[in-house]
Chain A
Amino acid sequence: MKHTVQEITDQYGPAYFGRMGATISHDIKNCLAIMNENTGLMSDHLMMAQKNGVPPDIERFSGIVQRIEKQIGRADGIVKSLSTFSHSMDKPEQQIDLDEAVTLALALGARIIANKGIKVNHTGAAGKFYVNGSLFFLLSLIWSILENATETLASGAVLNISSMKDEKSRICLSFQCEQPFVSDSGWQTSGLALDLFQAEIVLDDQHTRVDLVFGK
């Protein structure tokens, strides 16, 4: 049975969007909190300088300004990712650079993965691999595999992600870990999104590698 983009959107869209929105807002809150403390610290130094009748310590101020600038850059990066994510449903079908989509999916969910204590290494292909479809659903699909993989791994595990072509020249996104993924259940949770991309998920016998293969 072929499902429409609308049916899939209705079923998966809000959950993924909400999950990413929550973690991104948390990251932005942290940037704001750090900027808040640093502007407060500048204010503290100004008040102390005024009270003691001495000029403010310029070197110290410069260090604080650099810390604030760093957080502005960090927040800008987060908001750029959020903006790309928010526009990912604008086109129901487009040509998507697979490694760029992985980078964005990782940026959006970075805190969730970090909180699980999992380190992720993403190695892009030497050339570019493109898949056709909705960016939103590709992100959702990549995330569902990432979340499933990180759920089953112990803290401290390293997950390696790489894009390649398989022996049948199909584009493939591979998720590998030295530890086995604990369970083989739940990998097909985004079955409808898999249909959209005519993709399939293949788990190897050792349960240490999951491939998202396009063009089944």
Chain B
Amino acid sequence: MQILLVDDEKELVSTLAERLGYRGIDAHWAVTPNDAVAMLSEQSYDIAVLDVQMPEMNGFELKERMEAISPELKFIFMTGHGSEECYHEGCSQTGEAFYLVKPVEIDSLIEKLNQVMHNGGKP
């Protein structure tokens, strides 16, 4: 499973990627949406885990950009932002089960990754 983690908090994504690596998941990371788009142009990924609130563009806009490059890519949102508007937007795009609020336990994230990977995004 190839994962791309995108969040403007570098210490969060780099640590999370390392921990996923210890569990046999090949996770790469980017701290800007533009870096993420560039990485996706170079290599294919199975799932992108996106922060919602980021400089340059938000996670929903980034999802659209990434889908244009890689239509098969699946998504999970992981956010510290709890607004109703974001929640409904995120849930409408990925389903409620895949709109995660930080901090996220790694076992819970892996369970979601497996669900997305094997059940086509259905919880």
Contacts and interface: CB of A to CB of B under 8 A. Distances in A.
A25 interface: yes
Interface residues of B, number: 23
Interface string A43-58: 0100010000000000
B16 interface: yes
Given A29-B80, A115-B54, A41 B19 contact: yes
Q: How large is the interface on A (under 10, 10 to 19, 20 to 34, 35 or more residues)?
A: 20 to 34
Interface of A: 22, 25-27, 29-30, 32-38, 40-41, 44, 48, 67, 71, 111, 114-117, 155
B53 A33 contact: no
Contact of B22 (A25, A44, A71, A114): A44
A43 to B, nearest CB: 9
Contacts of A26: 53, 80-82
Complex A-B, nearest 7 residue pairs according to Cβ-Cβ distance, in ascending order: A29-B80, A36-B103, A33-B102, A37-B15, A33-B103, A26-B80, A34-B12
A40 B54 CA distance: 24
Contact of B80 (A33, A44, A114): A33
Contacts of B18: 41
B11 A67 contact: yes
Nearest to A116: B55
19 contacts: A22-B83, A25-B80, A26-B53, A26-B80, A26-B81, A29-B81, A29-B101, A30-B102, A33-B80, A33-B104, A34-B12, A36-B102, A37-B12, A38-B11, A38-B15, A41-B19, A114-B55, A115-B53, A117-B55
Contact of B11 (A25, A34, A44): A34
Interface of B: 9, 11-12, 15-16, 18-19, 22, 53-56, 58, 80-83, 101-106
Interface of A is mostly: helix
Nearest to B21: A44
A88 B55 CA distance: 29
Given A29-B102, A36-B104, A38-B15, 15 more contacts: A22-B81, A27-B80, A29-B80, A29-B81, A32-B102, A33-B102, A33-B103, A34-B11, A36-B102, A41-B18, A67-B15, A114-B55, A115-B53, A155-B55, A155-B56
Nearest to B107: A40
A44 B19 contact: yes
A22 to B, nearest CB: 6
A115 B54 CA distance: 6
Contacts of B102: 29-30, 32-33, 36
